[in-house]
Amino acid sequence: MKRIIYIICAISALAACTSGKEVSWQDKSLPAEVRAADLLSKLSFEEKASLVRYDSPGVERLGIPPYNWWNEALHGVARNGSATVFPQPIGIAASFDVPLTEQVFTVVSDEGRVKNRLARETGVAGWYQGLTFWTPNINIFRDPRWGRGMETYGEDPYLTGQMGMAVVRGLQGDPDAPVLKAHACAKHLAVHSGLEANRHRFNAEVSERDLRETYLPAFKDLVTKAGVNEVMTAYNRFRGVPCTASKYLVQEILRGEWGYKGLVVSDCWAISDFYEPGRHDYSATAAAAAAAAVANGVDVECGSSFHAIPEAYEQGLLKEEDLDRNLLRALTARFRLGEIDGESPWDSLDESIIESPEHLQLSLEMARESIVLLKNDGVLPLEPGTCFALLGPNADDAEMQWGNYNPVPKSTVTLLQALKAINPELLYDPACALAEGLPGQPELNEKALLAKLEGIETIVFAGGISPRIEGEEMPVTIPGFSGGDRTDIELPAVQRRLLQSLKEAGKKVILVNFSGGAIGLEPEQESCSAILQAWYPGQEGGTAITDVLFGKVNPSGKLPVTFYKNVGQLPDVEDYNVEGHTYRYFRGEPLYPFGYGLSYTAFEYGEPKIKGKKLEVPLTNNGKIDGDEVVQLYVRRTDDPEGPVKTLRGFQRVSVPAGGTVKVSFRLTPETFLWWDGADMTPLSGEYELMVGSSSADSRLQTLRYKF
């Protein structure tokens, strides 16, 4: 028995001695680590090798059940029948609502536990039925052309960390409970933000400052503060080494500096990228690749390369003690989840909670908070009885609203359905294709359409794009889109032409834009009277948008990404240097800045003041309706011209009644002044500017000097 096993077995023996019990992995009263060590000592090498695969086959002779580690819960329990569909994460990020996000993922883990119990009752919990959810995606949405950016919480490290930690708390539950509710998984470590087309061969080269200041902070938050139980490595190389084999990322930073004790899992078939032709060219064979990953502390592989572990061992490429070390962590996790024992405190949850009225109401609440009002010339909110028509290719598309990595719900309220419920006689026409080159799309006939709209002054146009044409590795090649990514950020040309024609015909156009990221809406600033950013809003999205259109809900979402004017404002999409990317290092003038979002009421910020270790600012609602505002705190170091223009270090979502004033307070802690010191991010003494207001735009911020 190798040294690590000796140590743990010694601890086990001591525990057994003091309790008067013989050590046995079947003894449920023993700690998970003790049980795992005993079970490990009873396994053959081949059995050990099989148990570090994502589709672990189990050990029949010992009564160990099979387990499939692969499950998804990006914004609802995915790929396993019906479940509540919440807005896509980029929309959740737009809420800037940490407590509500935690509630959402508490519901997700409740539904996940029910689905796991139902699967166990019918036999074995298989693919997409386990308790280990490979979410959240906390990569930085560095460039709007990246197709998977919609899975993230935006472009800011602080916001991403705050929202990501809420996801972890909601999914995993009480970290000190005897049985853990589920696993969350922070992915993808590291420096991974597209493109989809080259992720299996791309080498990300970034400065140490960019790594520590932008790409790693959210991972550090989830590991050191939220106690995430899994971390997934990325497909790409980092400084010439595949991330899954990177000793610097996995051993030195993750496990060394941050003290991470949880599981490391590979992205799916990322290890095969080590040796498959035309990819990383890092290993000669599957056996060599498997050995490199095991040695680097990868505990579970999603893929098939770990089938070569026995071959690697026979060739002397792999040490059994490395495999034992990794498997011990995996077995401990299974005992902690109650998975091997097949029982949990959540077994009493009834199947009726899945898509229950309470869960649908929570999805609706999050969808309402996610909607961002980008422009309003006074046309919104619509008055009851307003005569309007509904146009656009996204008006009645339920699947678009689900986003990606989604459940398939029993019901979805599209925008058409929600508006029809108000006005059964509503004139609706899809009007045009979503984008040029897509089969089965309606052709635009402007003359006929305008004739149909005669006498109707107001148009709600449901446009934008769709997960059908942006997302993870997609076989899509049409103008503006390639392989799941975008090559341009403007609206598809056919939609843009139609919006301009409606404007020229004297119509007041309300654009409801559905997309997973920023769209270059510069011409639409002229052709549209109002613009709502709806993201991919989940199964209750149609109701949420309708509530905002008619003023039942006052919009309160804020942009978690910069909306650039056009693609010409962006650096090369393969340039991972942060300079020029995101509001923190973009030195131009965007169309809509990070943190931006309008309201139907008028908020006024009073004079901010520093009192001791607090920054306080009064916020008044000068309008006639109640509203929610997201108050944002940014920091800039005055003697660092190469640093970020400003960086978010606090936000609070507050409700202010009409005519009322609330005092918003931010605690100034050492973490408020985390800054690059030449080697790492640390609380750095010196002169700072503290900026507080309603968005990242200088014109919306009030500034104070502060010496830390």
Residues marked active site are found at 267, 470
**Distance between CA 509 and CA 463 in Å, rounded?**
12
CB 529 within 8 A of CB 382: no
- The answer for residues whose C-beta is within 8 angstroms of residue 256's C-beta and 6 or more apart is none
H-run or E-run covering 31: none
**Distance between CA 579 and CA 359 in Å, rounded?**
41
Task: Write the DSSP assignment of 174-243 as a string of letters.
Answer: -TTSSS---B-EEEEESS----STTTTT-EE---HHHIIIIISHHHHHHHHTS--SEEEE-SSEETTEEG
CB 249 within 8 A of CB 233: yes
Closest CA to 97 of 370, 440, 291: 370
Residue 402 backbone phi and psi in degrees, to 5: -75, -20
CA of residue 240 relative to chain centroid, distance: 27
Token output for 130: 């386990």
Read off the DSSP letter of residue 566.
S
Residue the block writes with tokens 């059964």:
424
**Distance between CA 418 and CA 408 in Å, rounded?**
19
- The answer for residues whose C-beta is within 8 angstroms of residue 252's C-beta and 6 or more apart is none
Residue the block writes with tokens 């078939």:
269
At position 136, the amino acid (one-letter code) is P
Here the contacts of 701-705 (C-beta below 8 Å, separation 24 or greater) are: 701/634, 702/605, 702/607, 702/608, 702/617, 704/608, 704/609, 704/610, 704/615, 705/638
- The answer for residues whose C-beta is within 8 angstroms of residue 620's C-beta and 6 or more apart is 603, 604, 606, 656, 660, 661
- The answer for residues whose C-beta is within 8 angstroms of residue 129's C-beta and 6 or more apart is 68, 71, 80, 115, 116, 119
Closest CA to 108 of 183, 44, 45, 158: 183
Token output for 704: 């104070």
Total residues belonging to the chain: 708
Residue 512's DSSP bridge partners are: 462, 532
